[in-house]
Amino acid sequence: MAQGGMDGAFTALARRLRSPEWTDDLFGPPRIVGPEFDDLALQTGPADWSPAQAALFERLQRIKPRHKLAAVVSACNDALILPEWITHHLAIGVEKIFVYTNDNQDKTEELLRWFAQHAPVTLLPTRLGRPVDVQIKNFHHALFMLPELRLYEWVAFLDSDEFLLPAARFEHSLPKMLDAAPADAAALLFPWHWRLWRFELTRPEGLLATHYPHATPHYLAKSVTRLDQVASFHQKHFPEFATPKRLYDTAFRPIERGTNWHLDMKTGEGGWTEHFWGRSFAEFVVKKRRGEALGLTESHFLRDFETYFSWTSPPTAENYHPWPPALLETLQSRLAGFGKDPYFAALRAQIQTSFAAQGAALRQDAALYGLFEDMSRRFAPAG
């Protein structure tokens, strides 16, 4: 039933793309990514495609880019950090942001509706019919059911806690970095810069960029890719292509196939994926419950409480990596500009108040607060 629903959507879109007026659809209401697309989460490449999907893929490849750079992100209960995430990526040169979101209880969707009216943001609500990896579903939906994504030469596929940060030699501009990339680059892998966190029950108001100034290299990465021939994102961290393509690190060194996961094969010389994974314990609890709600028996979303305390390190002079001052100033200025809208300001205040209430509720939860206190003592740095 689901495959039939998908095939109908693939066929209808392929038919629509035969018309030069297909871009008129871009100005319609937000599209709901329904359960009929759940099977996209299970695909690993062309071997899993139906004839209708293969025909659509061929049609999509004919679309010629007109713009430089877009981003695709999957978000859930991320209202606290999305304004900073969106503003940061606009500041580094992303021209269009496509946000998939599902199962929110914290005004994330309401916030994104505001951004869709006031910034180059497209909202794509996702609905699940059964337990699947929603991020893979979303990324594959973007590959096949967002023809407007093909209007951009490069696309960054990210999580809502991952911030791309091009190096100073590119003036922290992603388009300038991409202009300098090798002509045969199909994707650039940006290594994770694992932002370190303190054991805090709840995070005070303020920016991630200023609250977490320490980071260490991590062996994983996220990609900025040309969509030509991209056949799968089932690995999520990097694309897989229908035909062999060249991948590079941010120093523009080629990465051999099969080495994508090894830190020693990548460098952050040209830029990082700044990964704010931990943050406050209250935010971790939201993340953990979100993963458990998916109903998957095996998933990277399923984390033990202990990981919050064991996956960070003490701040030192060696791992001090403050945010670039000029970029921080731009970020603060643009956020202040958005804040001049009374509705946006009131909505952010409601989100902050709601999050503060979550922290207060944690203090009243004897089991969770006791766990936080015990683990904080157990993993406290020596001395």
| pLDDT for the residue numbered 365 | 93
Q: What is the pLDDT of residue 226?
A: 95
Q: Is residue 383 part of a domain?
A: no
Which of 40, 97, 73 shows the shortest CA–CA distance to 157? Answer: 73
Local mean pLDDT, 10-residue blocks, the chain (383 residues): 79 92 76 92 95 96 95 93 97 97 90 96 93 94 95 96 97 98 95 95 90 94 92 91 91 77 71 95 85 59 84 96 96 96 96 88 92 94 68
**Quick one: pLDDT at residue 296?**
56
Number of DSSP helices (H) and strands (E) in the chain, helices first:
12, 12
Is 167 inside any structural domain? yes
In a domain, 334, yes or no: yes
Residue 185: beta bridge partners? 246
State the DSSP string of 175-216.
HHHHHHS-TTEEEEEEEEEEE-----SSPPSS-HHHH--BEE
- Please tell me the pTM assigned to this model: 0.94
Q: Compute the distance between CA of residue 108 and CA of residue 124 in angstroms, rounded to an integer.
A: 12
Q: How many domains would you assign to the chain?
A: 1
How confident is the model at residue 1, as a pLDDT? 41
CA distance 315 to 217: 14
Provide the residue range defining the domain that includes 313.
2-378
| Segment 234-269, tens digit of pLDDT | 988 889 998 889 999 999 999 876 655 565 667 789
Is residue 335 a part of any domain in this protein? Answer: yes
